[in-house]
Each structure stands twice: as C-alpha cells, then as structure tokens.
C-alpha cells in the first residue's frame, strides 16, 4: 500500500482570514506531503508495508521504529486536522454530542476554555484533541506526533499547535490562532459524525 497526500476538503483560500492560503500551501503542500513521502520510504520492504495507517501507528508506538511512528502519526493527524476545520465552522454542536459535551464540561464555554488551555499550554510542538475515552468526552494534548488512537482513545476533532500551523499568520501568538479555530473554524458536524460512529462501534 502506497499512501497518498489527501486533497484539502476546501479551497486553499477558504479558511481566510483565520488561516491564510500561504499557510495552507506550506502546511498541507509541504509539511503534510513530507510526512506521507517519508512514511512510504520508511515502510518499503518492512512488515508495515500493506498495513493500514491506523495499524502502523498502534504497532509502531513505543517500538524501535520511531521514524515510522512519527511519520505515520503525523500523516494521520494532518488528514484528520483538515476535516476538523470548515469554512462554515464555529457555532455550537447539536444533538447527542452537545448533550454529552454539556454533561462533561457544563457548557460550550467551559469546553472552549479547557481546549484552549490544552492547546496553549502544550510545551513546544504538539496537538490538542477532543476525544472519546471509555465513553466519556475528554480534552487532551499530545506532544510532537502523539496520536490518541495509539492510546485507545477515539478522536473527534483536533488542532495542530506546531508552529508551522500558525507562525506565518500569527508569529508566536498561539492563543489568537486557537481563538480563531474555536470561534470560526471548528467543524462540529465532523465531530458529531465521529462521536455517533464511535459510540456505535464501542
């Protein structure tokens, strides 16, 4: 199996002014592409060749194959990131996800507070996530290429807080980048679909 760089689910200008076309050119066209290319090279002729991306991540975590894990997880994380954002994003979730979010966090404002803290307090490079963990919603962060599926958690949405995700637009102001995501880009429809599917699969 040769992995391919997925297309963006929207035009490269669609997330402006919150994320610029120039950032997407670098982030998707260079960084994400590099992870996919390096992964294909790393698994060629190995036991990982022919496995799904999810299997490669879970089987390579904590092994001596750090390069395989890092590139597989980053390829997966970025593909999931593009779906976690939408030009019509922001607002509030609805249906079962909203009910569960209200039970777990109290309200949307508390969720946003916790998510922003996870994103801004992650030291160095990493990710902020909303996950389903043993039937409960949680906000978690992972360092570097960390991916919740390697820990048995079920991701619902994510935000990349590596500097390459926001530096061209916001320099070192990670907080403003996170605010733009939460207020204008967060794709609650994607998160809700993931929530419903993963509850049924549990």
One DSSP character per residue, the chain reads ----PPPPSS-TTTTTTTS-HHHHHHIIIIIIHHHHHHHHHHHTTSTTTTS-HHHHHHHHTTSS-HHHHHHHHHHHHHHHHHHHB-TT--S---HHHHHHHHHHHSSHHHHHHHHHHHHHHS-SSEEEEEEEETTEEEEEEEETT--GGGGT-EEEEEEE-SGGGTHHHHTT-HHHHHHHIIIIIB-HHHHHHHHHHHHHH-
What pTM was computed for the model? 0.95
> pLDDT per residue over 112-134, tens digit each?
999 999 999 999 999 999 999 99
Q: What's residue 199's pLDDT?
A: 66
- Residues lower than pLDDT 70 in the chain: 1, 199-202
95-201 maps to which CATH number?
3.55.40.20
- pLDDT of 158: 98
Topology adopted by domain 21-84: Helix Hairpins (1.10.287)
Domain ranges of the chain: 21-84, 95-201
Q: 21-84 and 95-201 share one CATH topology?
A: no
């Amino acid at each position: 199996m040769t992995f391919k760089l997925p297309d963006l689910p929207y035009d490269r200008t669609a997330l402006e002014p919150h994320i610029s076309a120039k950032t997407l050119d670098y982030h998707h066209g260079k960084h994400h592409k590099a992870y996919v290319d390096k992964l294909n090279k790393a698994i060629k002729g190995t036991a990982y060749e022919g496995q799904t991306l999810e299997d490669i991540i879970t089987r390579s975590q904590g092994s001596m194959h750090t390069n395989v894990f890092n590139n597989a997880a980053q390829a997966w994380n970025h593909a999931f990131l593009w779906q976690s954002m939408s030009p019509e994003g922001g607002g509030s979730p609805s249906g079962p996800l909203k009910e569960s979010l209200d039970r777990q966090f109290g309200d949307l404002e508390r969720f946003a507070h916790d998510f922003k803290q996870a994103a801004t307090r992650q030291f160095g490079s990493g990710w902020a996530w909303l996950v389903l963990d043993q039937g409960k919603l949680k906000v978690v962060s992972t360092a570097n290429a960390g991916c919740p599926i390697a820990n048995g958690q079920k991701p619902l949405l994510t935000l990349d807080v590596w500097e390459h995700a926001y530096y061209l637009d916001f320099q070192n102001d990670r907080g403003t980048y996170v605010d733009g995501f939460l207020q204008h880009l967060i794709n609650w429809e994607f998160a809700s679909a993931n929530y419903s599917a993963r509850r049924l699969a549990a």
